[in-house]
Chains A and B, each alone.
Chain A
Amino acid sequence: MANVTLRNVVKKYGVLEVVHSINLEIADSEFVVLVGPSGCGKSTTLRMVAGLEAISGGEVQIGGRVVNDLPPRERNISMVFQNYALYPHMTVRENLGFSLKVAKQAQPVIDDAVDKAAEILSLTPLLDRKPGALSGGQRQRVAMGRAIVRHPEVFLFDEPLSNLDAKLRTQMRVEIKKLHQKLKSTIIYVTHDQVEAMTLADRIVIMRDGHIEQVGTPLEVFENPLNTFVATFIGSPPMNLLDAVVKDGKLAFSDGTLIAIPPGYSLAEGQPVTFGVRADNIMPVGHALPHGEHMAEVEMEVNLTEPLGTETLLFSVLAGKEVQAKMFNPRPVQTGERMTFQIMLDKCHLFDAETGAALKR
C-alpha cells in the first residue's frame, strides 16, 4: 500500500505541452478517479505514473519514493488497459501468473496466487482457455486478475470498462468497487464517463486540457462545482446554464424574465453572471419534490419529453437557451404544452459570466 504524489508534473511531446504542471496528493488505499473529456491528458498522466511515458517535468512519488527514473517494473504498480492487453498466446492461467513467473517465483507460489485471483474474479472455469476464446467481459476480468495477482502497491486503470456494453459495465463497476474494498489498495482510475467517476471514486479529479479543474469527493464536486465546466461535466443531465444580469436586486434573463437572486450571494447592480440550475431543481408545479423556502417561478413551453420511468425529462427553451427540467410522478405531457416551473433557489449556482468561476455565497 502506498500514497502517490504528483508535484508540478508536466508532459511535453516535442514542443507540445499536453499536461501542464499538475499537483495531486493521493492517500494510501484511496480510490481516485481522473475524469475529463477525451484528449484532456488523463491517460498521459496515468502512464507517467506507470512509467510508460517519460516525465517531462516535476516529480512523481510512490510511497514517498521519487520514481521519475525508475522503469515500470520497479514501481510496484499494476495497470489495467482499455483494450485488455492480454497476451494472446498464453492461456488465462499463464496470463494471470505471468508477472510472478518473470519475477522468478516458485511454481507452487504462482499456482496458489493464480487460483486465488481466479476465485475472486470467478475465472476458475476459464483458466485453460486462450484470450481469443473469451468474451469482452471475461477478458476484462482476466486483465484485472493479472493486475491483482501481484499485490501491487498501486493499481492503475485506464478506461477499463469503455469497451463493454452498458449492462456489463454496470456489473463490472460493482465488481471493481468490491475489489477495492477487499484489497484496500490505492487505485487511480481514468475514465471519461462521469457516472463511473461518481459511483466509484473516493475522490474525483476533473481534468480539462491538461489542467486539473477541481478535486473533491463526488458530492463536493456535484454540489459545489468550482466553475461552469465542472458544473456541466458532472451530473446528468448537465446543469442548465443561463446568462443573466443583476437588475433591481433580481436576476434578469435576456428575454426579460426576472427571478429572485439565490440566497447567500451578494451581487452588484448590473453585474453579469451565469445562472446554473440542475434539472432536479427545476420542476413543473404539482410535480415537484418537497423543497426549501426560496422559490422562483418561470413559465416555459415544453418541446420535447424523455420519459425515464420514475421521472420524465422536459426540454424547454428559456432566454434562448435549452433548459432541462425534471417532472417527478410524471403524467403524460403534450409537446407544445405551456407549464409553470418552480426553481429551487437554494440549490442554484452563480458563476462569473466572464471566467466561469463559481461566485462565493
Chain B
Amino acid sequence: MKFDTPATTNPIDQLKIIGHATSRIDGPLKTTGKATYAYEWHDVGSRPAYGYIVGSAIAKGRIASIDLSRAKAAPGVMAIVTAENAGKLGKGNYNTAKLLGGPEIDHYHQAVAVVVAETFEQARAAAQLVQVSYSAAKGSFDLAAGRDGAAKPPGRGDNQPDTNVGDFPGAFAAAPVQLDATYTTPDQAHAMMEPHASMAAWDGDKLTLWTSNQMIAWTTGDVAKTLGLPKENVRLISPFIGGGFGGKLFLRSDAVLAALGARAANRPVKVAMQRPLMFNNTTHRPATIQRIRIGANRDGKITAIGHESWSGNLPEGRPETAVQQTRLLYAGENRMTALRLAMLDLPEGNAMRAPGEAPGMMALEIAMDEMAERLNLDPVEFRARNDTQVDPEHPGRPFSRRQLVACMKTGAERFGWSARNAEPGKRREGRWLVGMGMAAAFRNNLLMKSGARVRLDRSGTVTVETDMTDIGTGSYTIIAQTAAEMMGLPLEKVVVRLGDSSFPVSAGSGGQFGANNSTSGVYAACVKLREAVAQKLGFNSADVAFSDGQVSSGNRSVPLGQAASDSELIAEDSIEYGDLAKTHQQSTFGAHFVELGVDVATAEIRVRRMLAVCAAGRVLNPKTARSQVIGAMTMGVGAALMEELAVDKRTGFFVNHDLAGYEVPVHADIPHQDTIFLDETDPMSSPMKAKGIGELGLCGVAAALANAIYNATGIRVRDYPITLDKLLHRMPDA
C-alpha cells in the first residue's frame, strides 16, 4: 500500500480497540517466566555448549601472540575461535569496528576469542587461561583534546554537517540580547537489563540464531555478510527482548561468536555477553561538546540561533547529530548548525534512544532557559514567542501537526508552574532548596517501509506475522489492537507473532518509528485481507462492515471465520510512503516539568515530581504509551543526575563497566510522574494517524532537571551529569 495522500476516515477511526488502555498481551508470559529470551530456549537446539568471550585488554594496538594451549587443555573445552582460525570474515553494514578483533585491536574489550565448553562454568574458567600478549599503540581518547582537530563528517541525505540560513554571524553580533555558552554531555551506556545474547545452530550451511535484536532484517543481512553466507541461509529468531534502547539495533559479537563457536564445536552454542564487557565491547551514546549561540531582540524574538556539536568516533564511525532539533524547533531568520567529528579510539559510538535529540536537547533547552532569564521572560513564554508552524529553514514547508505551545501551556497549568519563583535560590523547605524547571520536548517522526502477513483461519482467528520486534515497548499489543480493529474482532481472537526473519520485513524497533510504521504495515495487510474475505464471501467489498466477528453488508451477516472454511486466507502487504514527509515536516512535541530539591548541606539532588505533556499523533494505547513516556522520563533523570561512562584517558576505556559503577535511577529516585497526551491525530503520518512516542519522552527531561537545579540553587551547571561535586563549592552555607 502506498501512502501518498493524507489519511481520510478509515476503520481505525472507529476506535473500538485502538486508543483504549490495554495491558500488554505478552505480560503474563513475562511475569510467569515463560517468555523465551535469547538465552532461554531450553526446548530447541539440542544440548547447547556455552561460549565465553575474551575481551581485549588494550584499547589500540596489535595482538603480538595468543597462546591457547592451557585453555584448550582445560576441562570441557571444545573449541576456541580467534581471528586467526575463524576463517575470512566480512564486516556488516551497520557496525564500525570488527566484532572479532585481531591482530589489529580497535577498542578496549573488543572480542579477541570465544571459548566454547560443555558448561558455562568451564568456558568461563578456560577463558581466563587464554594468554594474549599485546603490543599497545598510542590512541586518542579525549574528546576535548580532539576537538580542534575534528573534521567535517560526510553528509547523509538531509543530514548535512553544516547548515546556514540568512546571515547568522551578522545577526548574532547585532542582537541586543545574546547567549554564547558551551555544554557537554558524557558517553552513556544503554545499560539494558538483558545483555546481548544469542544461541546459534547450524544445519549444514544454514544458520539459525536465536538472539536479542531490534532490527531483524538489518541484522540478518549483516550476519550473512559477516559470515559470507547467502542471506537465505540465515534465520533470526528474536521474539522477546529484555531492553535494547538502540544497543540491539545491530549485529554484535555475541551472535557472530555463537555462530563461529557452533561451527567450530559442531554443536549449538549459546553466548551471553558478560556484564563487565557490556560497556566497552558494544556501542554507546557518544559524548558531545556543544556550543550554542542565541541572539534575540528585547521582545524575546530570536533573530539568530547557532548550534555546533563535536563528538568522536572510530574511523568510519558517524557523529552524534546533536544539532538536529535546533534546525526545527524554534523560529529565527538567521541560523546555522555544524557537526564535527573527532577520531577517537574508544569503543564504537552509535545510536542510543533518541540519538541526536536526546543529547542535543540536553544542551539546547538549558540555553533556552538561560536566554529566557536574560530576557526577563518566563521560560514557557519565551519558547511560545519563538514557536513556528513551518520548518524554519524552509518556510514553505509546514509542520504536519505542531502543538508545542499547547503542550507547554497545558503542562504549566497542570503542574502549577505559576508558583515558581523566577528568582533562583529563594525557596527553602527544611534542609531542601526547592526548584522548578521546564523544557520543551522534541523528536522527529520517521517513516519507514513496513510489512506484515495476516492469516485468517476457520475459527475466525487472525494471526499476524511480521519481523517487527517488541523490546518491552508493547508492539505485540498495539499490533493485536490494530488487527482486531481492522477485522472487527475482540483482542483474544488475534495472535501476534514477531521477531522472525521468515516473516515479512517490518520497520523494526528504533528511532521511535516502530509503533506507527509497524501498525501501518499491519493495517495495509488487513486491508488486503478484508478484500479477500469480502470476495470469498461474495460481498461487494466497498460497503462491507467488519464488526463483532461478523462480516456484514445490508441485512446479510456472516461469521468472519466462514471465509476460511475450506482453507486459510492469507494476505500480505506493506506500507510504503510517498512524499508527505518531504512536503510536511513531521515531528513530535512535548513539554517536561520537574520539581526537585537540592540538599543545602550535601547538594544531593532528589526529584519530587515530574510531568510530561506530549502531542504525538494518535495514541494507539494510552497504557503502553504512558509506560514509554515514564520510562523515558526516568532515563532522563539518569542522564541529568548520574549516567556517565568514565573515560580513562590514559588507556582508553570506560572504567565503570558494570551496573554498580554505571548508575541509573532506582525506584527511590522517582517518586512521582504524570503524563498527559494531547488529543491529536496526524493524517500526514500514516493511516494510523499516529507518530512516535518512545523517544519523545526522553528529549528535554535532563534539561528540565538542570533548569530546576538552577532555579533551586542559582547554580548553572552546563556539564552533565549534574552531580553534587559540581554544585558543592558554590552552595550557600547550610
A-B interaction: no
Interface residues of B (CB under 8 A from A): none
Interface residues of A (CB under 8 A from B): none
